[in-house]
Amino acid sequence: PPPCGYGAGSQASSSSNQPCPVDLGPSTSSSSSSSSSQAPPAVYNVYNQRIDAQGKQQKSEAEKRKESNFRSIWNFGWGGGSGALDSKNNMPLEANQQPSVGQLKPLSVDREPSTIPKGGTESTWTYPSPQMFFNALNRKGKADGVDEEDMENVIFFHNGMNERTWEMVKRWEALHHAEYDEKNQPKLSRFLGRPHDLSPMARVRSLFYGDVPFDRHDWYVDRNGEEVRYVIDFYFDEEKAGTMEAFEVQARPALDSFTSCLDRVKMNIYVTCAQYGLPCPISGQPGHIGKEGANAGER
């Protein structure tokens, strides 16, 4: 992979001047219309985005902003409240589990351990609680249009994406299996969210296909004492919204060294051979790295 209680640190005016924090959409009743002339009910997906024909044609700027805010939450998944920042993830050192100002419903403060080993420790990274995620959104001013009910789904997809990313990183690190032993395995030392920085590969892909990642991370992996940077681009497929298949991960070592460049060449060869059912051109045997990479869509 990101303290205040109710009524503290708020610069907002009284609640009577605040818009309703829960966006219920347009009113379903009107003095000028009758029940016989009501339009068909709106259809929404799991992200509270309208997906029926009328909604696609009349999507408001507020709905577009809500979609953007929902996706921006991936930048805040490992941190908490305000205060001193952790240099490993640029997030607050102390997790904020207190309700945010204006929060309408209680959120879980339970945190799930990940399977991702944490560099410099014998433990793993711990995922944020729904309350921490919601607080981080408020702290960054990104909570507009995101309801408390969204948090459980947010955590589910966020955690699943990180687990999938780590599996991809481990496949790349398998190219260096000789450098590891049973007691010394790759670990994630730190990471950095860079949602506004397109990677070179993402820039090229956007030119040919038009799609851009909704987020980017740089992960720094401890390879037996050597820190290796990985670039991860996250893409979203609207047609598969509501499932893990909607999220595509592109992870690869950054071209910071000759070794990383060589790893990219090797993986490309292994995956290409696996896709065509060919043995590894180096060993002459079927390679599990290329097969797993082909199944995951890695190149």
pLDDT digits (tens, 9 = 90+) for 155-186: 999 999 999 999 999 999 999 999 998 888 99
Backbone torsions φ then ψ of 37, nearest 5 degrees:
-110, 15
Give dist(CA 100, CA 7) in Å, integer: 9
Q: What is the mean pLDDT of the chain?
A: 75
Tell whether pTM > 0.85.
no
Q: Which residues pair with 230 in a beta bridge?
A: 219, 253
Contact of 188 with 125, CB cutoff 8 Å? yes
Give dist(CA 14, CA 32) in Å, integer: 32
Residue with more model confidence, 57 or 232: 232
Give dist(CA 221, CA 264) in Å, integer: 16
Structure token digits, residue 7: 């009524």
- Percent of the chain surpassing pLDDT 90: 38
Residue with more model confidence, 28 or 92: 92
